[in-house]
Chains A and B, each alone.
Chain A
Amino acid sequence: MIEKRKSWMSLLAISDQNDLLNLWDQKKIKISYEWLRQPEIGSIMAQGKMGVTGDKFNIGEVTITRCSVKLDCGTIGHSYVQGRSKRKAEISAVCDALLQTKMFKEVNENIIIPLEKIKKDKRDKILSKAEATKVDFFTLVRGESD
């Protein structure tokens, strides 16, 4: 369960807000909930490692929006999403809550799976373009060999 939840929360966090909002608006899920924490814009400090494997150091910050909601059934949903869209954070938290309820199938099929496809297509496109720029070396032999 935790692994699944990590996976959908991560996907919602990095999804393009327009993609998420479009899918959500298309589905027209009627649901009522209350705020546990209103959307809040802030940042996290990204850390890297010196020389790939060494000690940590700070690279710079990334904007993040977070919020928490509670459905009428009592299920709590959280979100920490990239960027400054309060609406994206809100929908992500509601999805997180719904995915823990009987609504799992509906939300998974209509929101999560399409977002996964968008992510995979985007990555596959990058990998396939990068592959096309792979260098094939050939060596020129200079001078005479005995």
Chain B
Amino acid sequence: MYVAVKGGEKAIDNAHSWMSEIRRGDPSVPNVSLNQITEQLTLGVDRVMSEGSLYDKDLAALAIKQSRGDLIEAIFLLRAYRTTLKRFSYSKPIDTANMLCLRRISATFKDIPGGQKLGPTFDYTHRLLDFKLLAENETPLSPTQQFENKKVPHVLSFLNQEDLMQKEKDNNLDPIDITREPISFPTSRAARLQALSRGDEGFLLGLAYSTQRGYARNHAFVGELRIGIVEIELNIPELGFDINVAEIILTECETVNQFQGSKIEPPQFTRGYGLVFGQTERKALAMALIDRALRWKELGEDYSGAPAQDEEFVISHCDNIQATGFLEHIKLPHYVDFQSELELIRKIRADAKRNVKRL
């Protein structure tokens, strides 16, 4: 039973007013602009877009500013806004072979056509605080080099040619859209990938790490990791042809995993796949490891009871907005619920006391 309790409006208004004031901070310090956020806190913006499941840098920056840098709160704001948008249609599937790569590395092959390009990475930095950033100096421009504008083939396609890698076939199926239909279990890989792509980075990281530590052992090599610009094609019904309607940054990760083979198939490598909005490589890598762990049934592997193999566990708990909504609601008033608990325990104790006396 729910009993509505009124009151607290003034306290709520004043609390929000104070929150706004604190969000602004010391007025003598310049206000942070959305441009500053989109230009200088890029990876935070990318995380909010990917987990908010809406690619719009300006809105993500606004959400970060509004949420005082609490990224889950920012993701919540973006998700809420997303639900107000009219869905025009679904894009054509993005062909990541056409990606204009900022970064493209492989941990399995040293020499690859197109080469290994590190791109703007934190890798190989010493993780020492850079006190030079305290002084607001201009950063020198980074070097450039002559290039050939050629399509960059996927590294694992070379293994495909030898049939050493399991082929990913396009059966021309329409995927379930988890923003339109609730997920029921067992579910499809398409639904899992959509849920993982917008799942919480921290949760996916922890789970992916658990697979590396032996819970659902599937030793993964990074076959390829690429980050770059892709264009999104859309069919325009008024015109009857396709145009590119958007240009976004994606991070794609393909892992190569061992596979025993089965009675009907010779041993072959298999793939874990991660594809995420923005420059989000920790997340894409984690997604690929979890995608692979969740494929145990399809690949005829043993279920070891590991959390990362349990699709219901993984998919039902990877969404940080669902999770935080349920978690945080328990701090809201539950006076009536608790009152009934309190009465119950008093009654039980009173009964118990009486029984003791009788003995």
Contact = CB atoms under 8 A, between A and B. Distances in A.
A69 B324 CA distance: 44
Contact of B143 (A2, A46, A83, A132): A132
Classify the interface of chain B: helix, strand, loop or mixed.
mixed
Contacts of B59: 63, 84
Contacts of A130: 101-104, 117, 119, 147
B194 A44 contact: no
A47 interface: yes
A98 B245 CA distance: 19
Contact of B147 (A66, A68, A83, A131): A131
B189 A50 contact: yes
Interface stretch (B8-16, B24-32, B49-57, B309-317): B49-57
Contacts of B189: 50, 55, 57
A128 B101 CA distance: 11
A9 B243 CA distance: 7
Interface-centre pick from B58, B241, B247 (highest chain A CB count, 10 A): B247
Chain B interface category by residue count: 35 or more
A41 B241 CA distance: 21
Contacts, number: 237
A40 to B, nearest CB: 7
Interface string A113-127: 000000000011111
Interface string B139-180: 000111111010000101100000000011111111101110
Contact of A41 (B85, B115, B154): B85
A99 to B, nearest CB: 13
A40 B242 contact: no
A56 B144 CA distance: 36
A134 interface: yes
Interface of B: 49-50, 53-56, 58-59, 82, 85-97, 100-104, 110-111, 115-120, 142-147, 149, 154, 156-157, 167-175, 177-179, 189-191, 193-194, 197-198, 228-229, 231-232, 234, 236, 238-239, 241-248, 250, 252, 254, 271, 273, 275-277
20 contacts: A6-B241, A6-B242, A6-B243, A44-B89, A44-B232, A44-B246, A47-B93, A47-B94, A48-B275, A52-B96, A52-B168, A54-B169, A55-B190, A56-B175, A57-B189, A59-B197, A60-B197, A60-B277, A62-B54, A132-B145
9 shortest interchain CB distances as A-B pairs? A54-B168, A51-B168, A128-B144, A10-B244, A42-B86, A131-B147, A57-B190, A60-B53, A82-B246
